[in-house]
A and B are shown apart, each in its own frame.
Chain A
Amino acid sequence: MEELTFSTLIAVFEEMFGQVVFWAMVVVAVVVTVLYIYVLIRDRAMSMRKFLWAQVSMPFGAIAAVWFVLTATNSQLSDMGGPIDLLVLLGIAGLGAVGFAILIYVAQSLMRGGQAD
Chain B
Amino acid sequence: MANQLDFNATRRGFLGLAAGSAALAAGGGAVQAQRVATSARIAIVGAGAGGTAIANRLANRLDGATITIIDGRQQHWYQPGFTLIAAGLKPAKYSVSRTAEWLPEGVEWVPEFATEIDPEANVVTTASGRRVAYDYLIVASGLTLDWDAIEGFNLDMVGQNGVTAHYAGPQYAELSWRELDRFVERGGVGLFGRPATEMKCAGAPLKITFLADDIARRRGTRDQIEVIYNAQNQSLFGLPIVHHKVRQLFDERDITARYDHVLKAVDGQRKIATYATPNGDVETAYDFINVIPPQRAPQVVRDSGLSWADRWVDQGWIEVDMETLRHLRYPNVFGVGDINGVPKGKTAASAKFHQPVVEDHLVSEIAGREATKTFSGYTSCPLITRVGRAMLIEFDYNNNLVPSFPGIIAPLEELWISWLMKEIALKPTYNAMLRGLA
Contacts and interface: CB of A to CB of B under 8 A. Distances in A.
Contact of B432 (A15, A40, A80, A82): A15
B419 interface: yes
A74 B388 contact: yes
Interface in B217-238: none
Interface string A78-92: 111110110011000
Contacts, number: 113
A94 to B, nearest CB: 16
In this complex, the interface size class of chain B, counting residues with CB under 8 Å from chain A, is: 35 or more
A103 to B, nearest CB: 18
Interface string B255-277: 00000000000000000000000
A88 B427 contact: no
Interface in A23-53: 30, 34, 37-38, 40-41, 44-49
Interface stretch (B176-184, B192-200, B307-315, B406-414): B406-414
A54 B104 CA distance: 48
Interface in B157-201: none
Contacts of A41: 9-11, 14
**Most chain A CB within a 10 A radius of its CB, from B14, B388, B431:** B388
B432 A81 contact: no
Interface of B: 3-7, 9-11, 14, 17-18, 21, 28-30, 89, 352-353, 356, 378, 386-389, 404, 408-410, 413-417, 419-420, 423-425, 427-429, 431-432, 435, 437-438
Contact of A11 (B387, B416, B420, B432): B432
A35 to B, nearest CB: 12
Contacts of A89: 416
B80 to A, nearest CB: 14
A12 B428 contact: yes
A73 B5 contact: no
Given A46-B5, A75-B423, A81-B416, 14 more contacts: A2-B352, A6-B28, A12-B428, A12-B429, A15-B427, A15-B431, A45-B5, A48-B5, A73-B424, A74-B89, A74-B388, A75-B416, A82-B415, A85-B416
Contacts of A85: 415-417
A28 to B, nearest CB: 15
B353 A2 contact: yes
Contacts of B353: 2
A96 B356 CA distance: 38
Contacts of B387: 74-75
Interface residues of A, number: 40
Contact of B7 (A1, A46, A76): A46
Nearest to A85: B416
A16 interface: yes
A-B pairs, top 4 by smallest CB distance, nearest first, are A79-B388, A15-B428, A75-B388, A11-B432
A79 B17 CA distance: 40
Given A12-B428, A13-B428, A74 B417 contact: no
Contacts of B429: 1, 12, 15
A91 B68 CA distance: 47
Given A79-B419, A81-B415, A11 B435 contact: yes
Nearest to B6: A45
